[in-house]
Structure 1
Amino acid sequence: MDLKEYLNRIGFTGQYGKADLDNLFTIHKLHVMNIPFENLSIHSGEKNTMDLHIIYVKIVKSNRGGWCCENNHLFSWVLKEMGYKFTILGSKVFNSLEQEFLPMDSHLINLVEIDGKQYIADVSFGVSYQIWHPLELISGKDQPQLPGVFRLINNGMQWVLEKTSRKQLVQDKAFANSSLIDKRLTKTLYSFTLTPRDVDHFRETSDCLQTSPDSLFMLKSICSLQTPTGFRALIGWTYSEVTFKEDSDLMDMKEIPDCEIEALLREKFNLVLVNKFTPKNNKADYCI
Structure 2
Amino acid sequence: MDVEKYLSRIGFAGPVAAPNLDVLRSVHISHLLSVPFEDLTQHSGGRVQLELPLLYNKVVNQRRGGFCYENNSLLSWLLSELGFQVTLLSGQVKNFITGCYGPPFDHLIVMVSLDGQRWLCDVGFGSSGFSAPLSLETSGPQVQGHRVYRIRKETGMYFLEWQKEENRGLDGEWTNIYKFTLESRCLEDFTEMCQYHQTSPHSIFFCKSLCTILKPNGRLAYIGHRLITTTFPTVEAEGRVETTIRELEDEEIPGVLAEKFGIVLKSPLIPKDEAITPSPVMY
Q: TM-score, normalised by structure 2?
A: 0.91
Partner of 2:254: 262
- Within a 5 Å distance, the mapping from 1:56-67 to structure 2 comes to 56-67=56-67
Partner amino acid for 1:59? V
Q: Which residue of 2 aligns with 1:236?
A: 224
Where does the alignment leave 5 or more consecutive residues of structure 2 unmatched?
Answer: 167-171, 279-283
Corresponding residue of 1:280: 272
Aligned twin of 2:37: 37
Aligned residues: 269
1:145-185 per-position Cα deviation (integer Å, ceiling 9, x unaligned): 12611111100210000111236xxxxxxxxxxxxxxxx97
Structure with greater strand percent: 1
Distance in 2 between the 1:229 and 1:40 partners?
25
Distance 1:201 1:117 in 2: 26
Q: What amino acid is aligned across from residue 163 of structure 1 in structure 2?
A: W
Q: Contact conserved, 1:17 with 1:82, CA < 8 A, in 2?
A: no
Partner of 2:185: 197
Q: How does 1:183-194 map to 2 (within 5 A)?
A: 186-194=174-182
Alignment pair present for 1:100 and 2:92:
no
Query: Secondary structure at the residue paired with 2:9?
Result: helix
Percent pairwise identity: 36
Q: Which runs of 4+ in 1 moved over 6 A?
A: none
Aligned amino acid, residue 178 of structure 2 = Y
Alignment-derived partner of residue 175 in structure 1: none
In the TM superposition, 1:51-90 aligns within 5 A as 51-90=51-90
- Name the residue aligned to 1:28: 28
Question: Displacement, 1:200?
Answer: 1.1
Number of the residue aligned with 2:210: 222
1:185-208 deviations in Å (ceiling 9; x for gaps): 743110000110001110111111
Q: Is the 8 A contact 2:3 2:78 kept in 1?
A: yes
Tell me what 1:251 maps to: 243
TM-superposition CA deviations, 1:98-130 (whole Å, max 9, x none): 111112321101110111110000011012x12
Q: TM-score, normalised by structure 1?
A: 0.90
Q: Secondary structure at 2:94's aligned position in 1?
A: strand
* Superposed CA RMSD: 1.6
SS of equivalent residue, structure 2 residue 258: helix
Is the 1:85–1:113 Cα contact (8 Å) retained in structure 2?
A: yes
Q: How many Å separate the matches in 1 of 2:249 and 2:229?
A: 17
Q: How far off its partner does 1:17 sit?
A: 2.7
Offset of 1:139 from its aligned partner? 4.2
5+ residue gaps, structure 1, are 168-183
Whether the aligned pair in 2 keeps the contact of 1:10 and 1:35 (CA below 8 Å) is yes
The answer on whether the counterparts of 2:201 and 2:276 sit within 8 Å (CA) in structure 1 is: no
